[in-house]
Amino acid sequence: MDDRARALAVAHDRATAFLERLPERPVWPRASYDDMLEALGGDLPSEGTDPAELVEQLAVQAEPGLAGIPGGRFYGFVIGGGLPAALAADWLASTWDQNAGLSAISPAASAVETIAGGWLVDLLGLPAQSAVGFVTGATMANFTGLAVARREVLAKAGWDLDQQGLPGAPPTRIVVGEHRHSTVDRAAKFLGFGRNQLIVVPADGEGRMLPDELARALEDAGDGPLVVCLQAGEVHTGAFDLFEPLIGLAHDHGAWVHVDGAFGLWAATAESTRHLTEGVQSADSWATDGHKTLNVPYDSGMAIVRDGAAMRAVFGSRADYLIEGAGDPSERTPELSRRARGFAVWAALRSLGRDGVAALVRRLCDNAARMAAGLADIPGVEVLNDVVFTQVVATFGSDDETRALGQRLLADGTAVLTPGEWRGRVVQRCSISNWSTTYDDVDMTLAAVRRLLAE
């Protein structure tokens, strides 16, 4: 075998072994960042290392510093795993090494993005003609949607952003919910919007923007360029904004409506949760992730814009040495050269089928309901949210006790919950986002919590 074949064979063996060991291995990393610096660092040697040997070394040395993210008991943050077909297609994407920016050099990469994008807007119940850009995640999808929004609302106010830039532009107001995700603020910042341009609208106890408060905020905002950011899936509670009234109000005021639906937009794919996204299709742009509810390996996000021409106006580019084709993916993303992310999304959707996507979403929700009911049954444990989707927020006594329980669970290694703050209390957050989580995983986690609380 040549160097490449031997290195790939080692990678395959090591990858398979890692996946097989997931059910037994501690879910939280056993080594720290400093341990990893020591294990993998030092001066770069003058001499190289045999590729196969090096890959073997990397796999062995990195292992203790890895989290069991692809396994069924990682419930921290909002993190999906990798469906078998998506993972394998992602390996192929690395092997093929296609540049997905231009159709001409990779018709396959470009076509799967067109196809998967079409399936996606159909599954999510969004307007059929919407344009889809395959980006790294919801942060960049928010950035992408808001970049299009910025140009459009300024154009409507008679301002040519491409020519004149931001200096002297009519001030744009960005209306956001009290419980928006922090990446909406990051995206706004990257786009040159300052904190003074944000109007923050109060929310209810589950984190949903209050329609009366939005109406008031829109009155206060006046006539200038206006963007309203709504949310499908609050990161703690999983709650959904009430899209129908909110989008109606925003559009009455001439606003562009952007929806951050990183994990929640997927509620639209299952009958049992579809009502949560009712009305969301009336927005102008949407952000979602492939690497959360859909369980595509990192990194995978999609920026969806109703008006494809508006998206191309922001991201389309020209250079003498490129071959421009119809529907170049680079017209829909901030990047030119990039990984062919569409293959893994295409594979995830095609391997599950329409019913399989719905079943995945239902299963995540069932597991979340089981976890919430099990937690609420444990004396001293309180579930704070209305569990409508995949998120459970719980306290385990006082703030200190809640914090301590989370740390002991990480040390114990059975499962991972991660801490946060909700309604002024320290909580542990439990996000059921992995395709492979079973009732057994949920029950093992509940047993570990009971045992640690009793100790």
Ligand X SMILES: *Cc1c(COP(=O)(O)O)cnc(C)c1O
Binding site for ligand X (CB under 6 A): 78, 137-139, 181, 183, 233, 235, 260, 262-263, 289, 301
Q: Which string of b and e fits 344-355 if b means at least 16 CB within 10 Å?
A: bbbbbbbebeee
Given the complex with ligand X, which of 181 and 332 has the nearer CB atom?
181
Task: Extract the tokens encoding 234.
Answer: 């609050």
Given the complex with ligand X, which of 256 and 396 has the nearer CB atom?
256
The residue of the chain with the least Cβ separation from ligand X equals 137
The Cα–Cα gap between 278 and 125 comes to: 9
Cis bond upstream, residue 412 (ω within 30): no
Given the complex with ligand X, which of 179 and 363 has the nearer CB atom?
179
The Cα–Cα gap between 135 and 374 comes to: 37
The Cα–Cα gap between 89 and 346 comes to: 9
Given the complex with ligand X, which of 256 and 286 has the nearer CB atom?
286
Neighbouring residues of 326: CB distance < 8 A, sequence distance ≥ 6: 103
Closest to 294 (Cα-Cα) out of 20, 21, 79, 28: 79
Cβ atoms of 222 and 172 within 8 Å: the answer is no
Other CB atoms within 10 A of residue 121 CB:
20
Smallest distance from the beta carbon of 352 to ligand X, in angstroms?
A: 20
Given the complex with ligand X, which of 103 and 144 has the nearer CB atom?
144
The Cα–Cα gap between 364 and 381 comes to: 22
Smallest distance from the beta carbon of 233 to ligand X, in angstroms?
A: 5
Burial of 259 (0-12, 13-18, 19+ CB in 10 A): buried
The Cα–Cα gap between 62 and 59 comes to: 5
Smallest distance from the beta carbon of 181 to ligand X, in angstroms?
A: 3
Given the complex with ligand X, which of 262 and 270 has the nearer CB atom?
262
Smallest distance from the beta carbon of 43 to ligand X, in angstroms?
A: 34
Smallest distance from the beta carbon of 88 to ligand X, in angstroms?
A: 22
Smallest distance from the beta carbon of 422 to ligand X, in angstroms?
A: 15
Task: Extract the tokens encoding 122.
Answer: 């159909």
Neighbouring residues of 366: CB distance < 8 A, sequence distance ≥ 6: none
Amino acid at 336: L
Burial of 385 (0-12, 13-18, 19+ CB in 10 A): buried
Given the complex with ligand X, which of 52 and 430 has the nearer CB atom?
430
Given the complex with ligand X, which of 102 and 246 has the nearer CB atom?
246
Smallest distance from the beta carbon of 177 to ligand X, in angstroms?
A: 11
How distant, in Å, are the alpha carbons of 68, 99, 130, 441 from that of 71? 6, 30, 34, 10
Burial of 201 (0-12, 13-18, 19+ CB in 10 A): buried
Given the complex with ligand X, which of 11 and 304 has the nearer CB atom?
304
The Cα–Cα gap between 306 and 290 comes to: 19
Cβ atoms of 151 and 169 within 8 Å: the answer is no
Smallest distance from the beta carbon of 137 to ligand X, in angstroms?
A: 3
Smallest distance from the beta carbon of 104 to ligand X, in angstroms?
A: 29
Smallest distance from the beta carbon of 260 to ligand X, in angstroms?
A: 5
Smallest distance from the beta carbon of 290 to ligand X, in angstroms?
A: 9
Task: Extract the tokens encoding 68.
Answer: 């069991």
Given the complex with ligand X, which of 148 and 449 has the nearer CB atom?
148
Given the complex with ligand X, which of 106 and 183 has the nearer CB atom?
183
